[in-house]
Structure formats: C-alpha cells, structure tokens
C-alpha cells in the first residue's frame, strides 16, 4: 500500500496553481465573461509554459495523477479553459474530447477549437464543431452548442473524462470550503465570529467530510483505471456519481454559510459556483449518472471486498 | 501510488474466509444473542485464530502477537466485522485494551494481561460512560478513594457497558481527585469482574442482548498495581483508547457484504425493487467504497504514527452514516420480509439485515457520538488543520 501521490504530481499541481494564481486566479474567469479572448490570450500561454497541454494521460499512472492534479487546481480557480477536454484528447494534434448528451450536444468552451470529438456515455463518438458563440448565461457563460458532423470510429477515453471531471469538481469544492471557513471565522455577528455557533461548525464538518471523501475516492479511482482495465467505466461512473453528490452538498453549505455576499460576483464563491455548473450538468447530472452506474453494475459488477469486478473475474478464469 | 494490500494480506483474507466457512454455522449473527452457544462459538473461534497466530496479528511479537503489518490487521478487522464478528466481545481486547496496556501498562500488567488477550482467553468490558457522563465523559463521578490498607476502593455506577455479563475484566475510569480542570484527576483501573461489590444489570434494548448493561461498583477493592498509567492522568489513556476505537470496526466491510448478499438473495425479485430504491442501493455501494478508502487513509497514518483526531473522526462520520444508510436501504429492499430475527418462516439471510439495522442505530452514538466527531472535524477545519 502506498496512498501518497507521487512527488512529481504534487509538484506539477503546485506549479500549476502558482501559475494560475499569478495570472489572476478566479479573476481570470470573472474577467473572461466580458473579455472571452482572455482564454486564449492569457490562459493558453500559461498552460503552454507549464507543459500542461503535452501531458499524455494514457502513458502511465504518474502522468495521469499529474493530469488529475492539474484538473483539481484548475477547478480551484474555475480556470476558463477546457483543460480536461484537451488532456483527454490523447495527443497534442488531436481535437479535444468532451462527453455530451447526444440529444443536445453542448461543450464548455466549445468555441475555442474548430473541431471536437464528442462522446456519449455508451462510447459512441462523433466529430463535432461549435455552432455559434458561447451561450453567455449565468450558469453556462462559455457553454457552446455543438453540431455533430460525422461518426468517429476512434474511441474516446470516456472513463478518463469522467474521472478528470471529478478531480476538477474536487478542486472547486476544496476552494469553496476554504472560502466558507475563511468567511465564518472572520465574519462577526452577535458579538463574535459565526464559527462559534455549533450549527455553523456542523455544516463545516459535513462539508469537510464530503471533500476529504471525494479526494480519497478520486485518488483510488485513478489508480483503479490503471490496475483494473475491465472496470474502468464502472469505477469512473461511481466517482462521478460521488463527485456530483458531494458538489450539491458542499456548494449548498458554502452558499448558506456565506449569506448574501456569496451570491455576488465580486466574491469568488459566486464565480466558482456558476462556472462549475457545466461540469456538473452537461453530459449527465446526478440522477442520470446514477442510472448509468446502476446499469453498468448490472453488466460488469462493482469490485469490492465481497463483489468481484470484471478484471478480477477475468484473472480468476485465467 | 498503490492500493494493493499485497499478496500476504490477500492470502490472509482467503484463510479467514475459509475459517469462517468451515467453523461458523450458517446464519451466524455474532455472540450477542440469547443463545449461550453463540458465545461459545466465538470463544472457540478466538482460540482457533490464536492457535494460527491470527487473533493478535498486528501486535508486536514480544506481546504474543504476530508482528504483522497494520494492513493485515485491517484485513482481519474487515473479515471479522463483515462476518458478524466471530471474535465476539474479544475484538475489543485486541483492538484497544491490549494496545492501551502496551502503551501505558507496567511490565507486570503487560505480562499478566497481554498473553491472555492474544491467546483468546479473556473478555474485557469498558467502564467509561455513566448516567451523567456520556459525551461529556470527563464529568464522570465514579470515585476511587485510597484504601488505608493499600490500593483503592471504587464506588459508582457505569452504564451502556457492553458484554459486562460475559467479561472477566473491566477497564474502569474513576475520579481520584477533584481538580479545576475536570479532565484531570481521572485514573484508569484494571478490575476483575468477579470482584466483590460489582453488580451487572442487563438493560433490555433495541440493539439486542448483551449490548447494554448497567454496572454498579460498591466499594470495590482494587490493588495498587491495578492502576493503568499514572494516577490522575487517565484522560490520556481514554483519548488513546477512543482513537483506536474510532477505526476499530470496519463497518464498511459488513455494509459491502450485505449489500451484495441481499441483491443475490432477492434473485429475480431484484427487478421488482422500486427503481428509486435500486438507485439508493447503487449510491450506497459507492458510499461504502468511499468509507473504505477513508478508513485506509487513517490506517496509513496510524502506520506512520501521524494519525490525528480529525482524520479519524472524518473516517468515522463517513463510516457510521454509511452504516445507517445501508441498513435503511436493505431493510426497505426486503419489504415485508424485513421484520425478521432469523427464526421467522420467511427469513432472508437468517435475519442478518434486521440485526444490522438494529445495531446500526447505535453507530452514530457509540464510542463518541457523531456530534462529538463533527465538533472535532470542525475544530480542525476552522484551525486550518484538515487536509
């Protein structure tokens, strides 16, 4: 057993977070709403300099963990860029890959690339292109309607996309919780900080449990993608389900504890909360993901102490 | 990064499952029943484990243990709890009474008690809670006064004392001094249950027989050598004990086993279970996995000697909530068959689901309530000390 992230992944995540912070942090997302060009003019060069766009997630576990850390720190500042889609593309000159709802294919930051590879949860893949400009809505400032142009015979690594989306969600939740802790310890009401009230403390505790659980499950799942190749989809769907549940719980708590200031765009919580929504909604929300997970468990099992996953079953049969 | 427990631990798991399969009767639900044969089964099983060096697997060899890794001990905890704890009440001696005696006991106490625990010869109970000292344990009022003839005389009342009628020894927390800080002035005593002045009264309860008792100590005499740790400094022993206890039970393992078994037991009827409930079952599977990896994080920290209260509490909150969620999902899945003590005509899994549900009600109460755990987590989070 070795539960520690490799130093290379930790260092890469720390460098990326430093670079994103130096470039403006959450303010990048805030400014990009009015100046969408920031995404290519500011964010792309930062990612290039980090070598982030050259990470080959399919190479080995350590590289994938570095990619996970990159997605996590991108989530921490609502980085206005489809990092996950580029990482999952498979190679630098390949179009980015996104999971979509085939009924209404949409991609976050879909306008940044002329060609995309759009995948459904069942593994079907299409070539796609952006259709028009970002929607510019509160909850989808950079969501773009996509046009499907042709069936693409090359597979997309759907489990990797699901897993990286959970790591990015983790980053957003981590930061939202940090903001909530900061708020309740500095905001004084009734003659003292909000944090002295047990009703507040318990919510902080629940959010802390949720974030730590999601982190452990995210680490475990990425390891499983490498070690249990026949269970990749079921493991990734389980993580995605957990990430969505955690997001609903943690963001609700963080908004509640912030009061009205948390709804204001001058506060980072509002930006984080709005910009993470495409991540939580676009391909499938919590209930739809649970249904997909349920069907996949029916098909492959769900490896655990008392259930045998497909990889373990295949090993037993050999 | 590697979550593989290793070939040795997996070999151990297989051996334990083999022993369970061969030596436990079908439908065994643990020692805490009205049938004395169930206790006898656990005593025989402990002897069997001890003979193979599996009972105190992770204890240092000098104390009669196997000197194995905490991961092997984790496997033992998982398999035992998943199969309704065939060690019976002895799991407590292995999990924390023994380690507390290793940490705080004198060489004489270690020589007297540790081999007996490691050999599966002795049952311990825990005399902590009192009618007016539950979560606020430091308010305990049981008094231990110096005996002019030497030693101490203990008088007071303990409550919720599990297995008190089965135990040969009790680890008793008593007040030896009244100090400004109530956590000070508490001393731990190792008390034989056959001592004159001890009375046990079982409390009929929802959890099942033997789980809850009252323990009365009326001028009970204990020797000077029966103090564990330093006089007036028992709180540090309690804190250590509770830390061990928080990860002592692998609740997720029984959740996992029952979630899997119930689905198998329902067979084709699984399709008739309402879809919303099957969705809850699906999420419960995920929550069980999350509780497991959180527990592994604490075990890992324990192995490195860096375990902290908040991490242990995070894992415990997740595990106990998961326990109750699973209990509810499974009871609902069985519908009318849920009312089942294993002896009804239409029983499923010999009443394991009802047994689990009843015991799970106490998951967020026993060994430190979930409110206390949340306070510990919040305190650390607000101080910026959580990961």
pLDDT of B246 reads 57
- Please state, for a pLDDT cut of 70, what percent of chain A lies above it: 100
B6 contacts A181? CB cut-off 8 A = no
Query: Which of A213, A234, A293, A297 to mutate to test binding with chain B, by most B CBs within 10 Å of its CB?
Result: A213
pLDDT at B345: 76
CA closest to A186 among chain B residues: B382
pLDDT in tens, A235-268: 999 999 999 999 999 999 999 999 999 999 999 9
B-chain CB neighbours of A213 within 8 Å are 290-291, 293-294, 314, 318
pLDDT at B67: 86
- A227 interfacial to chain B (CB closer than 8 Å): yes
Q: ipTM of this model?
A: 0.97
Q: What is the mean pLDDT of residues A298-315?
A: 95
**Nearest Cβ partner of A201 from B256, B283, B378?**
B378
Please tell me the total number of residues recorded for chain A in this structure. Answer: 318
The alpha carbon of residue A223 is apart from the nearest alpha carbon of chain B, in Å, by 7
Q: Residues of chain A with pLDDT > 90: what percent?
A: 93
The answer to whether the CB atoms of A3 and B260 lie below 8 A apart is: no
A203: pLDDT confidence band, cut at 50, 70 and 90? very high
Tell me which chain B residues have a C-beta less than 8 angstroms from the C-beta of A208.
314, 377-378, 380-381, 386
Q: Which of B290, B302, B364 to mutate to test the interface with A (most CBs of A within 10 A)?
A: B290
Q: Do A290 and B290 touch (CB under 8 A)?
A: no
Residue A21 has pLDDT above 70, yes or no: yes
**Residue-by-residue pLDDT tens, chain B, 387 positions:** 999 999 999 999 999 999 999 999 998 999 988 889 999 999 999 999 999 999 988 888 888 888 888 899 899 999 999 999 999 988 889 888 999 999 999 999 999 999 999 999 999 999 999 999 988 899 999 999 999 999 999 999 999 999 999 999 999 999 999 888 889 999 999 999 999 999 999 999 999 888 999 999 999 999 999 999 999 999 999 887 766 665 668 999 999 999 999 999 999 999 999 999 999 999 999 999 999 999 999 999 888 888 778 898 999 999 999 999 999 999 999 988 888 777 777 778 888 999 999 999 999 998 889 999 999 999 999 999 887
Structural domains in chain B plus CATH codes: 7-122 (1.10.540.10), 125-234 (2.40.110.10), 247-382 (1.20.140.10)
Distances (CA, A) of A110 to A53, A107, B193: 17, 5, 73
Q: Do B381 and A181 touch (CB under 8 A)?
A: yes
Question: Measured between beta carbons, which residues in chain A are less than 8 angstroms from residue B286?
Answer: 217, 238, 241-242, 293
Distance (Å) from the C-alpha of residue B355 to the closest C-alpha of chain A?
Answer: 19
The predicted-structure confidence for B160-198, as pLDDT tens digits, reads as follows: 999 999 999 999 999 999 888 889 999 999 999 999 999
Coil/strand/helix, residue B286: helix
Per-residue pLDDT at B303:
83
For the segment A59-77, the average pLDDT, to the nearest whole number, is: 97
B285 CB neighbours in chain A (<8 A) are 238, 297, 302, 304
Average pLDDT over residues A270-295: 96
Residue pLDDT, tens place only, B324-360: 999 999 999 998 888 877 777 777 888 899 999 999 9
- For the segment A13-27, the average pLDDT, to the nearest whole number, is 98
């Amino acid at each position: 057993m070795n539960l520690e992230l490799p130093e290379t992944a930790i260092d890469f995540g720390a460098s990326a977070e430093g670079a994103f912070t130096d470039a403006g942090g959450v303010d990048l997302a805030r400014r990009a709403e009015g100046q969408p060009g920031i995404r290519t003019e500011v964010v792309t060069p930062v990612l290039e300099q980090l070598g982030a766009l050259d990470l080959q997630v399919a190479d080995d576990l350590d590289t994938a963990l570095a990619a996970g850390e990159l997605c996590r720190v991108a989530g921490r500042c609502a980085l206005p860029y489809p990092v996950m889609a580029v990482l999952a593309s498979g190679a630098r000159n390949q179009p980015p890959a996104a999971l979509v709802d085939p009924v209404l294919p949409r991609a976050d930051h879909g306008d940044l690339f002329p060609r995309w590879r759009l995948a459904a949860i069942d593994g079907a893949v299409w070539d796609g292109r952006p259709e028009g400009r970002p929607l510019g809505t509160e909850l989808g400032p950079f969501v773009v309607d996509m046009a499907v142009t042709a069936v693409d015979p090359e597979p997309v690594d759907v489990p990797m996309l699901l897993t990286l989306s959970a790591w990015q969600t983790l980053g957003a939740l981590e930061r939202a919780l940090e903001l909530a802790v900061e708020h309740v310890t500095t905001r004084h009401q009734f003659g003292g900080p909000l944090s002295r009230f047990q009703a507040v403390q318990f919510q902080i505790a629940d959010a802390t449990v949720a974030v730590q659980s999601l982190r452990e499950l995210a680490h475990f799942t990425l390891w499983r993608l490498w070690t249990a190749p026949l269970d990749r989809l079921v493991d990734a769907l389980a993580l995605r389900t957990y990430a969505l549940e955690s997001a609903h719980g943690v963001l609700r708590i963080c908004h509640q504890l912030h009061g009205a200031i948390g709804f204001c765009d001058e506060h980072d919580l509002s930006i984080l909360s709005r910009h993470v929504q495409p991540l939580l909604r676009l391909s499938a929300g919590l209930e739809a993901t649970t249904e997909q997970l349920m069907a996949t468990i029916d098909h492959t099992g769900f490896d655990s102490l008392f259930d045998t996953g497909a990889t373990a079953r295949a090993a037993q049969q050999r | 990064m590697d979550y593989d427990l290793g070939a040795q631990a997996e070999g151990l798991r297989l051996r334990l499952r083999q022993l369970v399969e061969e030596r436990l009767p079908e439908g065994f639900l643990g020692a805490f029943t009205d049938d004395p044969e169930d206790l006898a089964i656990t005593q025989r099983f402990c002897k069997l484990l001890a003979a193979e060096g599996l009972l105190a697997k992770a204890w240092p060899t000098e104390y009669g243990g196997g000197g194995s890794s905490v991961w092997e001990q984790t496997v033992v905890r998982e398999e035992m709890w998943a199969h309704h704890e065939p060690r019976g009440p002895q799991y407590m001696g292995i999990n924390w009474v023994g380690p507390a005696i290793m940490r705080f006991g004198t060489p004489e106490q270690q020589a007297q008690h540790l081999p007996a625990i490691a050999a599966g010869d002795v049952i311990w109970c825990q005399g902590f809670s009192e009618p007016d000292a539950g979560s606020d344990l430091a308010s305990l009022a049981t008094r231990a006064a110096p005996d002019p003839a030497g030693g101490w005389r203990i008088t007071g009342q303990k409550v919720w004392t599990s297995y008190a009628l089965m135990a040969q020894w009790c680890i008793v927390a008593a007040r030896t001094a009244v100090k400004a800080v109530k956590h000070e002035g508490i001393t731990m005593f190792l008390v034989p249950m056959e001592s004159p002045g001890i009375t046990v009264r079982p409390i009929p309860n929802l959890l099942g027989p033997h789980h809850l008792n009252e323990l009365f100590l009326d001028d009970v005499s204990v020797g000077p050598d029966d103090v564990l740790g330093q006089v007036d400094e028992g709180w540090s022993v309690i804190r250590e004990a509770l830390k061990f206890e928080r990860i002592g039970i692998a609740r997720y393992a029984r959740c996992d086993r029952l979630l899997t078994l119930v689905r198998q037991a329902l067979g084709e009827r699984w399709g008739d279970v309402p879809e919303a409930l099957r969705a809850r079952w699906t999420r419960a599977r995920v929550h069980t996995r999350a509780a497991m990896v959180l527990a592994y994080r604490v075990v890992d920290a324990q192995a490195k000697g860096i375990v902290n209260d908040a991490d242990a509490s995070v894992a415990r909150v997740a595990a106990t909530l998961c326990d109750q969620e699973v209990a509810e999902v499974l009871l609902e899945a069985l519908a009318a068959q849920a009312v089942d003590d294993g002896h009804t005509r239409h029983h499923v899994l010999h009443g394991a689901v009802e047994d689990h549900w009843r015991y799970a009600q106490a998951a967020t109460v026993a060994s430190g309530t979930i409110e206390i755990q949340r306070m510990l987590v919040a305190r650390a989070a607000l101080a910026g000390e959580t990961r």
